[in-house]
Amino acid sequence: MNTVPFSLRRALLIAQNTLLEAARQKLLLFFLLLALGLVVGARWLRDFSFGAPELKFLADCGFGAMAFFGAALAIAATAQLFFSEIENRTALTLLAKPVWRAEFILGKFLGVVAVAAFFCALLTLLLMAVLRWREGELMREFPEAFAQGGVVSYGMVALGGLLQWLKLAVLVALSLLVASFAQTQLFTIVTGFFVFVICHLQYLAQDAYTRAGSWFAQNVGGGLASVFPNFQLFALADSLNAADAPPTAHVVRVALYAAGYCAVACALAVYCFRKREI
């Protein structure tokens, strides 16, 4: 009996189809337009800067849009693109082919991660363009304040976009894990948002528990810290200056941290999905 080995090619075909499906739907366009609107419109929201330097405020708006709408896109797209296969019964035809369920899960993951990459890349490029344009205006208006040259490091902005994408990849993997055992799309979306919030507040919980001092509280804190990734690790320092750039080793560690969580969440999703009745 000839075996059918796991095929990365088939997983990539499923990913390609998932990306195409997302691109031809209105969901991606909707979140993209909202985020683009916020990035471009940040120029006229300076009244809410609360004294922060204008360029820093623009960058915060851009990364905020990427984080918030990116998270909404990652969770909603994962749930929608996964459950559309189940509810429309396209998974029935697909999994009746010589396809491993692991290939299906990996394909879905890579497809939505590609959607997130497109989203982050576009927003990062737009944010760079907005910063460049405003920085140019400010340099003409206040040449003395820019005597040393530009203050924005565009490498830092690109790095910020990359870190946001890594964070979204982890969120996609966690949402896919929920979808692999959830019965409804709504449950996946709601749970995905809870996970997103927990991951953002994970460091606070860990801190509070470890300060509690008791063995039980410390272990619960440690457990939570292991189960939920710390999304604060994916944030840049409060500066756009190249001098404040994180060391390369730190960026590599964060990338490995994200890859580790993605691998574990996808493996668990495959485990949950392997016996699921289609």
Partner 1 sequence: MSANVSSKLSAAVPAVEIRGLVKDFSSGLRGLKLRAVDHLTLRVEAGQVYGLLGPNGSGKSTTIKALLGLLEPTAGECAIFGVPSGRVEARREVGYLPESPYFYRHLSGRELVRFYARMCGMGGATLESRIDEVLALVGLTAAADRRVGTYSKGMLQRIGLAQALVHDPRLLILDEPTAGVDPLGTAAITELILQLKARGKTVLITSHLLGQIEDVCDRVAILDRGKLILEGAVSDLVGRADRQALVVEALPENELAELRAWLAARGRKLETVETPRTRLDRIFLERVGKKDA
Sequence letter at residue 74: A
Residue 196, helix vs strand vs coil: helix
Q: How far is the CB of 101 from partner 1 (least distance, A)?
A: 9
- Closest separation between CB of residue 27 and partner 1, Å? 12
**CA–CA separation, 167 and 233 (whole Å):** 9
Q: Output the smallest distance, CB 110 to partner 1, in A.
A: 15
Long-range contacts of 188-191 (CB under 8 A, 24+ apart): 188/75, 188/78, 188/79, 188/82, 188/83, 189/75, 189/76, 189/79
Minimum distance, C-beta of residue 12 to partner 1, in the bound complex (Å): 10
The C-alpha angle 264, 164, 108, rounded to 5 degrees, equals 45
Closest CA to 107 of 174, 10, 4: 10
- Closest to partner 1 by CB, 19 vs 173, is 19
Tell me if 1 contacts partner 1 by CB under 8 A.
Answer: yes
CB 241 within 8 A of CB 156: yes
Among 44, 47, 51, 96, binds partner 1 (CB under 8 A): 96
Question: Please, what is the minimum distance in Å from the beta carbon of residue 211 to partner 1?
Answer: 42
- The answer to whether 114 contacts partner 1 (rule: CB under 8 A) is no
Binding segment for partner 1 among 92-100, 109-117, 141-149, 215-223 (CB under 8 A)?
Answer: 92-100
Q: How far is CA 118 from the centre of its chain?
A: 11
Q: What DSSP designation does 49 have?
A: S
Smaller CB separation from partner 1, 9 or 140: 9
Helices 54-87 and 26-41 pack at an angle, to 10 degrees, of 170
CA distance 195 to 67: 14
Tell me the number of residues near partner 1 by CB under 8 A: 27
User: Binding string to partner 1 for residues 3 to 32, with x set by CB under 8 A, is what?
Assistant: xx-----x--xx--x--xx--xx-------
CB of 33 vs partner 1, minimal distance in Å: 20
- Please report, for residues 105, 109, 128, the alpha-carbon distance to residue 276 in angstroms, rounded to integers and kept in the order given: 12, 18, 45
Q: Which stretch binds partner 1 (CB under 8 A): 93-101, 114-122, 124-132, 195-203?
A: 93-101
93 binds partner 1 (CB under 8 A): yes
Binding site for partner 1 (CB under 8 A): 1-4, 10, 13-14, 17, 20-21, 24-25, 88-90, 92-100, 275, 277-278
